[in-house]
Amino acid sequence: VYDLELKTHRQLTTEAGDHGLPAWVQGLRTYSFSPDGKDIFFIRNQLGVNSLWKISIASEKCEPISLPENYTELKQITVSGKGDQIALLASGARTPQRVITYSQKAGVRVLARSRDEALAPSSYSSLQPITWQGMDGQSVHGLFYEPQNPMFQGIGNPPLIVNIHGGPTSQRGAAFNIQAQFFTSRGYAYLEVNYRGSTGYGRAYWDALKGNWGIYDVQDAVSGAKHLVEKGKVDKDRLVIMGGSAGGFTVLKALEDFPGFFKAGVCLYGVANQFTLVADTHKFESHYSDTLLGVLPEASEVYYDRSPIFHADKIQDPIVVFQGEDDKVVPRSQSDEIVSSLQKRGVPHEYHLYPGEGHGFRKTETISHFYQTVEKFLKQYVIYT
């Protein structure tokens, strides 16, 4: 808080937790003042899990506000003008997103649901925040889902899908994750890797990716899979890496730098050429790579080393590539170049190009085709081999 008379700042929070969000888009909010200005209601992010708090500006007394345990991701907090209610977007691993209100008198009320919620919560996999040691001994964080389907019983350790978020300085939180639930319901374990450089774990963790994009994200994906293998949670011979955009870049780099470690890769509109990404991407991210890789032309050697297209001959594991034809963030040419290399060398692969789709798929028929295709591809190259 800022004192207008003394012109001084005073920090209210002392706990290790993130209380803000990177401003990717406008209108994001994680706190709201009470109408009388005496208190602040806010969302705290710790290890990817959100909680709701209230703090007194005068006394700095901080107290949690208890919500049902199934709400582990909270967004867009708003305090009513009377101060007797708080509205939020809330979800959890087993609870699709809802609009809820909370008051001390009435507790939690559900005002709207994003899905019909026809399935019982037991049909969904719960998540577990986990931390492991990276290849250099530093801590790495993620969210782990075990297979879950009340209609089936698995035998032995399950295959693992290691999913890499985009951004690259983004974060996967403890929200309802339909993609994770799709795969866990079909017998896969699922790991969301919040590699070093992800937001939500403090400034130092976020800054770690500066100059290290294509290094830490790749290493942390591999070490996360190794950690689960060593814990006896997954099958070491049936590991899959998947990701879109910057996550797709990590997929390509991982297959190049650690050939044979993953049984297969799933790449959605992945960055393949760092030079053309800078030249062709949209205005908002036009200088993103300056901090992640360096400023051109001085950093041209780094850009070359971190561009999968120049080292695509190292990819030997099966891979399926998905691309939107109208993508303006990672243009189609990025995927075309990778696929051309795979074709020339006879690497097992599939390429699916979707007309009318941009950066991230929107059409129902596209999304349906994507999931059906991935499931079939993994059965062929991971499950039944």
Catalytic residue among 165, 227, 349, 359: 359
Annotated active-site residue 349? The verdict is no
In the chain, the amino acid numbered 77 is: I
What dihedral angle (degrees, nearest 10) is formed by the CA atoms of 62, 67, 70, 75?
Answer: -70
> What letter does residue 360 receive in the DSSP assignment?
B
pLDDT of residue 277: 87
Task: Check whether the bond before 297 is cis (ω within 30° of 0).
Answer: yes
Neighbours of 318 (CB within 10 A): 23
Could you tell me the CA-to-CA distances from 221 to 156, 217, 227, 252, 317 in Å, in that order?
23, 6, 10, 12, 16
pLDDT, tens digit (0-9, with 9 covering 90-100), for 119-130: 999 999 999 999
Alpha carbon distance 256, 316 (integer Å): 8
Can 245 be counted among the known catalytic residues? yes
Do the beta carbons of residue 368 and residue 338 sit within 8 Å? no
C-alpha span between 263 and 333 (Å, rounded) = 26
Q: What is the pLDDT of residue 283?
A: 78
Task: Tell me whether residue 223 is one of the annotated catalytic residues.
Answer: no
The pLDDT confidence band at residue 174, using thresholds 50, 70 and 90, is very high
pLDDT of residue 130: 98
Residue 22 reports pLDDT greater than 90: no
pLDDT tens per residue across span 55-109: 999 999 999 999 988 899 999 999 999 878 999 999 999 999 999 999 988 999 9
User: Residue 4's pLDDT band (boundaries 50, 70, 90)?
Assistant: very high
Tell me the C-alpha distance between 228 and 248, whole Å.
22
Please tell me the distance from the alpha carbon of residue 255 to that of residue 316, in angstroms, as a whole number.
8
Helix (H) or strand (E) holding 274: helix 274-280
Confidence label for 285 from pLDDT (cuts 50, 70 and 90): confident
Angle made by CA atoms 141, 41, 202, in degrees to the nearest 5: 25
pLDDT value of position 127: 96
Instruction: Tell me the pairing of strands 264-268 and 319-324.
Output: parallel
Q: Averaged over 2-17, what is the pLDDT? A: 94
pTM above 0.85, yes or no: yes
Query: Measured between alpha carbons, how far is 346 from 224 in angstroms, rounded to an integer?
Result: 30
- Token pair for residue 130? 């986990």
The tens digit of pLDDT for each residue in 32-53 reads 999 999 999 999 999 999 999 9
Tens of pLDDT, residue by residue over 220-274, are 999 999 999 999 999 999 999 999 999 999 999 999 999 999 999 999 999 999 9
Average pLDDT, the chain: 95
Element (H, E) at 249: helix 246-257
The residue from 32, 317, 327, 335 that is catalytic is 327
Supply 131's token pair.
């931390």
Annotated catalytic residue within 245, 289, 307, 335: 245
Is 151 a residue whose pLDDT tops 80? yes
The pLDDT assigned to 173 comes to 95
The pLDDT value given to residue 377? 98
CB atoms within 10 A of CB 59: 9
Using a 10 angstrom Cβ sphere, with 0-12 exposed, 13-18 middle and 19 or more buried, the burial of residue 62 is middle
Structure tokens at 355: 């007309």
Catalogue the E-assigned strands of 256-325: 264-268, 319-324
